[in-house]
Structure 1
């Protein structure tokens, strides 16, 4: 008779599916609306999305092109920032205003000023801060 062998029963590591083009397009529409609520200029919006101003303006009117991996990651982080603010600050207007309020966590700069650094990591920095504030990490 053979001895029993232990079989690993832990689930495989979670690997998220890539964001589809349809999901990316929906996120772009949501983020364009969020930018309106944050009262951003088109120039600021194009910086956050790392796209030329003309392209952003064209996409905003509904003539969207293909989103690359970087743009999808930017959109995902912006949606995460919005979600975290909605969870932390139950009143939507407070969340919209928070983006432009000076913050000690950013050495007195606003979250918008940090994000306007233009790098994906700038968006991630704000998102990580908010996730930590809400106890998400």
Structure 2
């Protein structure tokens, strides 16, 4: 039987949970914004808390794809602002004309997975990819 492309060992999913929740902390996101990034309902606050405490991310395609996009956004920001970590971290909460004056975090909250793709695509283009 072939493993699905999104299947990851538990240790990898634990590491992903730590990296993703650290990005949320760096970006100073509200719980609701963090939940939206992960595609979780507001009733899933307990899951967010467990991820922060080292529980592995759920092994489903949506969660793995979202984690990949979140980490790509984080990487893009660090590469765009290599000498200004504060600016890189504030970017997700800064209003942007490209997003009709919404913050990137608001774009994800309002548009869900499509919003996450919009933010990632914007940063990929800004970096010339």
Q: Name the TM-score, length of structure 2 as normaliser.
A: 0.83
Choose from 77, 80, 104 the match for 1:85. 77
* Aligned-residue CA RMSD (Å): 1.7
Choose from 36, 40, 44 the match for 2:29. 40
Instruction: Give the SS at the match of 1:135.
Output: coil
CA distance in 1, matches of 2:7, 2:94: 31
CA distance in 2, matches of 1:72, 1:46: 14
Q: Which has the higher contact order (CA 8 A, sep 6+)?
A: 2
Farther-moved stretch of structure 1 (69-78 vs 82-91): 82-91
Aligned to 2:50: 58
Contiguous gaps of at least 5 residues in structure 2: none
Deviation of 1:70 (Å): 0.2
CA distance in 1, matches of 2:55, 2:68: 20
CA distance in 2, matches of 1:133, 1:43: 27
Q: Name the TM-score, length of structure 1 as normaliser.
A: 0.79
CA distance in 1, matches of 2:32, 2:108: 13
Number of residues of Structure 1 aligned to a counterpart in Structure 2? 120
Q: Max radius of gyration: which structure?
A: 1
Deviation of 1:28 (Å): 1.6
State yes or no: 1:75 paired with 2:64: no
When you count helix as a share of all residues, which structure comes out higher? 2
